[in-house]
Amino acid sequence: MPKYAVELGEVGKDDVDRVGGKNASLGEMIDKVDVPVPPGFAVTSEGYDFFLWKAGIRDEIRQVIEKTDIDNIKELIEGGKKIREIIRNSELPRELREEIKEEYRKLGERTGSDKPLVAVRSSATAEDLPTASFAGQQETYLNISGKEDLMDAIRNCMASLFTDRAIHYREERNFNHFKVKLSVGVQKMVDAVCSGIMFTIDPDSGYEKILHIDGSWGLGEMVVGGRVNPDRYSYFKPTESLVSRDLGEKAEEMVWENMETKVKDVEEERRKKYVLSEGEVEYLSKHGILIEKHYGRPMDIEWAKDRDTGKIYILQARPETVHSQKKGGVLRTYRLEEEGRVLCRGQAIGRKISSGNVNVIMDSEEIEDFEEGQVLVTDMTDPDWEPIMKKASAIVTERGGATSHAAIVSRELGIAAVVGTKNASDVLETGQEATVDCSGGQGRILEGKLGFNVEEKNIKDIPETETDVLLNIGVPENAFDLGQYPVQGVGLVRQEFIVSSYIGEHPLKLVEENRSEEYIQELSYGIGKIAAGFYPRPVVVRLSDFKTNEYADLHGGEKYEPKEENPMIGWRGASRYLSEKFKEAFKMECKALKRVREEMGLTNVKIMVPFCRTLEEARDIKKELADNGLEQGKNELELYMMAEIPSNIVLADRFAEEFDGFSIGSNDLTQLIMGVDRDNENLQDLFDERNEAVKRRIKELIEKAKKKDREVSICGNAPSMYPEYIEFLLDAGIDAISVTPDVALKTLLRIHEKERGT
């Protein structure tokens, strides 16, 4: 006689037919993987079958399905409602009830309670497959206590196998409605002070070296349901370190559904804190890695932290079903051909661009008004929205993060989405034309249907070149995507973008306000994210190169910056770092770089000194770096210099004795050789990096560097703007060319053709 209820520890991944994907995975982790899982039991699929047979309702359910036009949303909703009523109004058989009661009693013994508080969760036998995700289609009931309430919750879970969205999903994927059966998991309730989702790969780029965590205060439903914009953490598996974290938008009011208690406030101090400490991120990540290794594939994991004990539990683990199904080796690059007015912004999901007519729908009961190819704009989505989400050209939500329902489904469907905009329904109107742009790593909704193109390249078709091709990067958001380009590393990281975008305040202001750690943390995470995306390939980080007017534009900056007639040749570069006036700010920058290299373990980071005018400055800046823990040669640290001043060319052989290599800054070099202020509109016709005088000096630098066995790259705009410049550089003997990502693949092909002589 089959068992209708079984302890979770007695089942494993080979028991999906008996207990469904969710329960099988939980049992596997309890028995085979050393991760903390709340104790519990499962009502088996045999119990579900026995219920349908004993209650005599299988034929009733079949008749309703056969009479329902699945493609008609109204009929689908009504049909699902009828089936659920049939199941809820039927009594569970005595034999099934007795086994459930016995397992509930034993759970009470293990947890020390006569009426243990439990979570009751659906687990379909076709759920959590590597090729399909049924997640979120069936119901979960929390804070259930007592035998009779437990029976009701179990019956309601079984009924949820026939929600309209679940019926539609099975029809669409040709799953037989009665071959997909339901098991129900009953687990000790974790009173979650915080919870969330963990992907063992980056969910947007598919970068396998990153483990991604989303978390928020309260129950995981807040994250999955998109009710909050969660905290986000990126953990780098090769060096076992946290390389990025972003504080989410905390809800002013949180209402926890499916609970008797409604929590209307979150303590003010919590809103200002990350939900996980760095130690907790590491603890959780290491368990995620254990789970991934056990299953041998990327995983999608739910977690929660118990309010009383502070213990972190794994609540669910299932195969990741988006990137694991994609065929590798193809790079698709989306690029806008024209710019428009930005109407709102949010978090980009994927890297696509799409356009269409907006349809603002704030209630799922109005989804029948949605038409194929429209841009869906709403507050947030849940599985009730899935019948129309596949019809959308793009999806925009006001709430939610990278692991919200809208984000997960958008990735699975392969459509552009922007989540967490906060104000989309206020600024977008039904009927207007809009373009959803996720191509740059930040989500933007622009006015009008804008033109864009898609470039598709198979990495296998990209030839190898003798000359290295590197990337110029400023914004960390798309580092995991760009890191999959077939390039040799990063030739220039512009710290200025990180400071202005993530910090926004003058560093000396933070020093004065005793907020140095904020600066160090944000800068280290920004640099760390880029370095992790390209690891172990070299990533050359230029020391901050703001001019005085640019520093003054930062919040509070005017207090600390002098007025200069020509900031381009003013207090910048090495002279600034060595100044007593800026010394404390430079210390913070050094601490951030040291943290990236030593604490994060990203020793692929190299340092580049810009605007170094004299040999004395070169020696002094090396000493200053060493005094701040960044000694040339120690822990494989290499120091490069920007070659952008005529003195750098004249004394290249002497500078080569101080630095490990050169990177040509063709913009500043051109303005100083030609005597042209590149910011002066009246002189733009004279500013040309292709001028013979500039090219001769570049060739001279390369020749002198070669004699000293030093490599030379270029990171200025010229190779990105002028394809013919590449031929000149190759003829001159350049070692590496660093370009903007949009021209990287074309540069590789052009270099290959030149090297082959074609």
Q: Which residues does the annotation mark as catalytic?
A: 405, 715
- Are the C-beta atoms of residues 401 and 226 closer than 8 Å to each other? yes
Q: How many residues does the chain have?
A: 758
Listed residue (242, 80, 112) closest to 177, CA to CA? 80
| CB contact at 8 A, 660 and 628 | no
**Alpha-carbon distances of 291 from 17, 18, 325, 680, rounded to whole Å:** 21, 22, 19, 58
Report the candidate in 58, 48, 79 with the shortest Cα–Cα distance to residue 168.
79
Yes or no: say if 21 and 318 are a contact pair by the CB < 8 Å rule: yes
Alpha-helical runs (H) found in 175-228: 221-224
Distance CA 305, CA 194 (A): 6
Rounded CA gap, 53 and 72, in Å?
29
Half-sphere exposure of 192 (CA within 13 A, CB side): 30
Q: Which of 126, 154, 117, 150 is nearest to 139 (CA)?
A: 154
Contact 231, 214 (CB under 8 A): yes
CA–CA dist 571, 553 (Å, integer): 15
Contact at 8 Å (CB) between 570 and 552?
Answer: no
For residue 496, give Cα distances in angstroms to 473, 492, 585: 11, 12, 14
Residue 450 phi/psi, 5-degree rounding, is -95, 150
Q: Is 615 exposed, middle or buried (0-12, 13-18, 19+ CB in 10 A)?
A: middle
* Cβ-contact 307, 209 below 8 angstroms: no
Among residues 687, 743, 739, the alpha carbon closest in space to that of 713 is found at 739
| Beta-carbon count within 10 A of 703 CB | 14
179: Cβ contacts below 8 Å, ≥ 6 apart = 125, 126
**Rounded distance, CA 109 to CA 115, Å?**
10
Our measurement of the distance from residue 340's CA atom to the centroid of its chain's CA atoms, rounded to an integer in Å, reads 26
| CA gap 425, 78 in Å, rounded | 29
521: alpha, beta or left? (left if phi > 0; alpha if psi -120 to 50): alpha
